[in-house]
Amino acid sequence: MLENLDALLLARIQFAFTVSFHFFFPAFSIGLASYLAVLEGLWLKTGKSVYLDLFKYWLKIFAIAFAMGVVSGIVMSYQFGTNWSVFSDKAGPVIGPLMAYEVLTAFFLEAGFLGVMLFGMNKVGKKLHFAATLMVALGTFVSAFWILSVNSWMQTPTGYFVAENGQFMPGDSWTAIIFNPSFPYRLVHTVMAAYLTTAFVVGAVGAWHLLKDKANPHARTMFSMAMWMAAIVTPAQIFAGDMHGLNTLEHQPAKVMAMEGHFQSHPDGAPLILFGIPDSEAKEVRYAIEIPKFSSLILKHDLDAPLAGLDTIPDDEEPPVGTVFWSFRVMVGIGFAMLGIGLWSLWGRVRGKLYDMSWLHRAAVLMGPSGFAAVLAGWITTEVGRQPYVIYGVLRTADAASPLDAPAVAASLLAFILVYFTVFGIGVWYILKLMGKAPHAGEYGVKRGDTGPIRTAGITPGPTQNPLGDETLPTHGPSEKEPV
Amino acid sequence: MDLTVIWAFIIAFAVFAYVVMDGFDLGIGILFPAFAAGRERDRAMNSIAPVWDGNETWLVLGGGGLFAAFPLAYAVILPATYPLIIAMLLGLVFRGVAFEYRWRDPGHQAFWDKAFTGGSFVAALAQGMTLGALLQGIEVEGRAYAGSWWDWLTPYTLLTGLGTVAGYALLGASWLIWKLDGEEQAHARKLAIRWGAATIVLMGAVSLYNIALNADYAARWLSAPEVYWVAPVPILTAIVALSMLRAILKDRNSKPFWLGIALFFLGMSGLGVTIWPYAVPEALTIWDAAAPERSQIFMLVGVAITLPLIIGYTAWAYWVFRGKVADEGYH
């Protein structure tokens, strides 16, 4: 029994580790693919080379991030079978088709057009190339659609029945499964989070180069674009998050109780606990700083509305309160910090000093990785908050694992940790190195062949496509000399 | 019409598409140490840089499709081949990032070239051994894998693993015959002959081993009347194998590659004949493992609409990058 528990815990750590690592890359590439499409579209529309330069600057970074996303994503598609075979067998008939749709409508689309996006501009012409960029961006979104539908179904399962052999079977309507109750909220909240993550990375890179040279037109353009995102999308995201929370209250009340730290029920108005240390043993939040009745106001829009607490939930159905309580606060805290940056930038814009406010730039650099932290914290909140269930209310995590021995899971976990930290750590280092270089006129695309003095390739433009980039072109590599 | 049979063919198609398409990518990785650092390696890698990602996606369709269409088979096979699957995934991590990293960091290009080869080799070997572990049979109790830890490691699985490595190297070399020219093409030809011969020998060895492995397999291939139905497979295989070696020697451009694919097609057909109608030999038929009809229909609609589109734009992407890699006269 103890052995089983160990294997289970290790399998959970392994899934949490691989999925968390993986999540960073799509969170970035969903937003970045759209940003690249916007940049290329603006270039085609206005003909301004600054957009093309920025497109190529970020394309190099996208290529690395996307590669890391792909290889860490393939791991995920097999983790279900290797570590969660009972879950796979039982839930396969319902969620398997949604994941198959993700492969068919999203993964192929991204991967099929990625090659043209990275290397094909001189081969297919501007418009077809833009179409390829749009397809990659669309693919990243469609991928989010399906995988979040799957995740949401596991959180709020609908439209299924359980067959005699224990398998979950699809009911009459697939829309009831796909558009399960938490899906629309989760989709909007997560995709906006991905956009914000990218916006803050772009903003940080822009700010970094503004701090070095506030006249750099490329840095100005990307910083301004990112700050518009911060100012407009952050409030929308906070609103969406609130809606998502209300939806969770309806379908997974125990998760909200853990988020709020409500161990006890409050029949006439629950307090909003800002900070404190949840103590699951004593069933109380120690040293709590709270605003009376405010939680009822947020969750029920009524100061005196009663709110049930974890005392109404059997102990063996409670999620780990401390983790959920803290990860939720990290997410919300970052969200408001993002809002602060957005408002600060608006103020700077109104005063016409957006590019001169070095303290704003410093803050933006500091906030560069904040989106990743917020995404991870939000993910932990929702995933740990639905424990002890893997399919909420119907299949416990403990009953879903593969019949594996602890040493096997431990060994593979160790291998994943070593490989991921080294390989992805190095990849992030390469990305940071690229970001450290100032974007400039005549920016090159993805290089393929640097054995000679200056060999550029990929989407290196010909003279008509980029009047500023006129360096000698390569003698080999999948690149072409002639513009189309 | 039996949906389960249709789905078995769809999965088989996805696996076949993966094996030949990522097969030549992995093959180039396996052959990488044989290429001279610099121009030859750069060109070899550039020949697949725009397409490898799409090629690898077929693996996700194979795995994801198996999960969706035959969840029980997925839930049994993956725990049974656990170390192989993990090794394959980690191998693919190194192989995949090497495509980007080797250009990013010239100081460590030699290291990432090794990672490219190591990752490709481990992934190919693990895939071949997984195939072997499936063919030799998996112990099932109830709805779960019931075998031991090292069931996947036998002389037979090592043989199928090496056969896959050789076959991928053959595909990689024949792809390069098509995409390269001059001395580099001549080098690819030499490699293709060597690995082609190895592939043929190992395919023969696996076939004979299959017959020795299991009485049902032997009956399928050796007893009347089945033998009349299945005999064309080995005969065609022999013809294709010889024409392929001839095409490699006779200065053909794309023909060795297409015949290499035909060889893989026949090899996989042979394996299909061998295990039919089992998803897990002797334990679970495709009908035992199949998802319910409602799931099959829902996905079939998706496949019917998207698969032609996928094949269409994939073909387009290959067309965009057609011809010799960076050949001056190639437009």
- Nearest residue of A to residue B323, measured between CA atoms: A478
Q: Does B69 touch chain A (CB under 8 A)?
A: yes
C-alpha to C-alpha distance for A165 and B284, rounded to whole angstroms:
15
Residue A480's pLDDT band (cuts 50, 70, 90)? very low
CB neighbour list of residue B100: distance below 8 Å, 6 or more residues apart:
A63, A64, A67, A427, A430
Residue A268's pLDDT band (cuts 50, 70, 90)? confident
Burial A243-253 (b: 16+ CB within 10 A, else e): ebbebbbebbb
Q: Identify the sign of the CA torsion A258, A262, A267, A271.
A: negative
What three-state secondary structure class fits A291? strand
Is the pLDDT reported for residue A450 higher than 70? Answer: no
The DSSP bridge partners found for residue A279 are: A284
> What's the whole-number average pLDDT of chain B?
89
Q: Do B331 and A480 touch (CB under 8 A)?
A: yes
C-alpha to C-alpha distance for A354 and A342, rounded to whole angstroms:
11
Residue with tokens 């003279």: A463
C-alpha to C-alpha distance for A204 and A230, rounded to whole angstroms:
12
For residue B306, which of A92, A129, A142, A106 has the smallest C-alpha distance? Answer: A106
ipTM (interface pTM)? 0.87
Residue A448's pLDDT band (cuts 50, 70, 90)? low
The DSSP bridge partners found for residue A170 are: A160
> What's the whole-number average pLDDT of chain A?
86
Distance from CA of A409 to the nearest CA of B (A): 9
pLDDT of the residue at A33: 95
Digit-coded pLDDT (tens) for A71-107: 888 888 888 888 888 888 889 889 989 999 999 999 9
Q: Does B130 touch chain A (CB under 8 A)?
A: no
Name the residue facing B320 among A73, A124, A426 (closest C-beta): A124
Q: How far, in Å, are A96, A97, A115, B4, B288 from residue B293 at the CA level?
A: 13, 12, 37, 8, 13
B121-130: average pLDDT: 96
C-alpha to C-alpha distance for A14 and B115, rounded to whole angstroms:
24
Q: Does B39 touch chain A (CB under 8 A)?
A: yes
Q: Do A97 and B56 touch (CB under 8 A)?
A: no
Residue A474's pLDDT band (cuts 50, 70, 90)? very low
pLDDT of the residue at A472: 35
Digit-coded pLDDT (tens) for B79-107: 899 899 999 999 999 999 998 888 888 88
Chain A interface, mutation test: which of B13, B18, B90, most A Cβ atoms within 10 Å? Answer: B90
Residue B158's pLDDT band (cuts 50, 70, 90)? very high
For residue A154 the two structure tokens come to: 């596991």
Contact A179, A150 (CB under 8 A): no
pLDDT of the residue at B214: 80
For residue A221, which of A432, A458, A441, A44 has the smallest C-alpha distance? Answer: A441
A147-156: average pLDDT: 94
Distance from CA of A87 to the nearest CA of B (A): 8
C-alpha to C-alpha distance for B241 and B256, rounded to whole angstroms:
10
C-alpha to C-alpha distance for A106 and A98, rounded to whole angstroms:
11
Q: Does A3 touch chain B (CB under 8 A)?
A: no
A217-223: average pLDDT: 93
pLDDT > 90: what percent of chain A? 50
For residue A104 the two structure tokens come to: 């068919």
**Angle CA A404–A408–A412, to nearest 5:** 120
Residue with tokens 């397809």: A135
> Amino acid identity of A348?
G
Digit-coded pLDDT (tens) for A273-299: 888 888 888 888 888 888 888 888 888
pLDDT of the residue at B275: 86
C-alpha to C-alpha distance for A268 and B315, rounded to whole angstroms:
65
> Amino acid identity of A403?
P
Digit-coded pLDDT (tens) for A2-12: 455 588 888 88
Q: Do B72 and A105 touch (CB under 8 A)?
A: no
C-alpha to C-alpha distance for A296 and A303, rounded to whole angstroms:
5
**pTM for this entry:** 0.87
Q: Does A167 touch chain B (CB under 8 A)?
A: yes
C-alpha to C-alpha distance for A94 and A75, rounded to whole angstroms:
21
Distance from CA of B30 to the nearest CA of A (A): 18
- Nearest residue of B to residue A112, measured between CA atoms: B54
For residue B249, which of B178, B201, B184, B192 has the smallest C-alpha distance? Answer: B192
Q: Does B302 touch chain A (CB under 8 A)?
A: yes
Digit-coded pLDDT (tens) for B255-314: 999 999 999 999 998 888 888 888 888 889 999 888 888 889 999 999 999 999 999 999
Query: Could you count the other beta carbons within 10 Å of the beta carbon of residue A141?
Result: 17
Is the pLDDT reported for residue B136 higher than 80? Answer: yes
Q: Does B258 touch chain A (CB under 8 A)?
A: no
Residue B106: what are its φ and ψ, rounded to 5°? -55, -30
pLDDT of the residue at A359: 94
> Amino acid identity of B38?
G
C-alpha to C-alpha distance for A224 and A207, rounded to whole angstroms:
9
C-alpha to C-alpha distance for A159 and A172, rounded to whole angstroms:
7
Distance from CA of A484 to the nearest CA of B (A): 10
B248-260: average pLDDT: 90
Contact A295, A319 (CB under 8 A): no
pLDDT of the residue at A3: 52
Q: Do A97 and B295 touch (CB under 8 A)?
A: yes
Digit-coded pLDDT (tens) for B200-228: 999 999 988 888 888 888 887 888 787 88
- Nearest residue of B to residue A459, measured between CA atoms: B50
C-alpha to C-alpha distance for A34 and A113, rounded to whole angstroms:
14
Is the pLDDT reported for residue B250 higher than 90? Answer: no
Is the pLDDT reported for residue A464 higher than 80? Answer: no
Gap between the terminal Cα atoms of chain B: 47
Return the DSSP state at B36. Answer: P
For residue A316 the two structure tokens come to: 């063996």
Q: How far, in Å, are A14, A320, A321 from residue A9 at the CA level?
A: 9, 14, 18
Is the pLDDT reported for residue A455 higher than 60? Answer: no
Q: How far, in Å, are A2, A12, A40, A320 from residue A387 at the CA level?
A: 20, 11, 43, 8
C-alpha to C-alpha distance for A350 and A348, rounded to whole angstroms:
5
pLDDT of the residue at A454: 32
Q: Do B306 and A108 touch (CB under 8 A)?
A: yes
C-alpha to C-alpha distance for A22 and A67, rounded to whole angstroms:
11
Residue with tokens 């037979």: B156
Residue with tokens 């499709």: B65
Name the residue facing B82 among A118, A404, A433 (closest C-beta): A404
Return the DSSP state at A403. Answer: S
Q: Does A454 touch chain B (CB under 8 A)?
A: no
> What residues 66-105 of chain A have any CB closer than 8 A to a CB of chain B?
66-68, 70-75, 77-78, 80-82, 85-86, 88-94, 96-97, 99-105
For residue B98, which of A484, A427, A281, A69 has the smallest C-alpha distance? Answer: A427
| DSSP result, A157-207 | --SEEE-TTS-EEE-S-HHHHHT-TTHHHHHHHHHHHHHHHHHHHHHHHHH
Q: Environment class of residue B232 by beta-carbon count within 10 Å: exposed (0-12), middle (13-18) or buried (19+)? A: exposed
C-alpha to C-alpha distance for B98 and B49, rounded to whole angstroms:
11
Return the DSSP state at A265. Answer: -
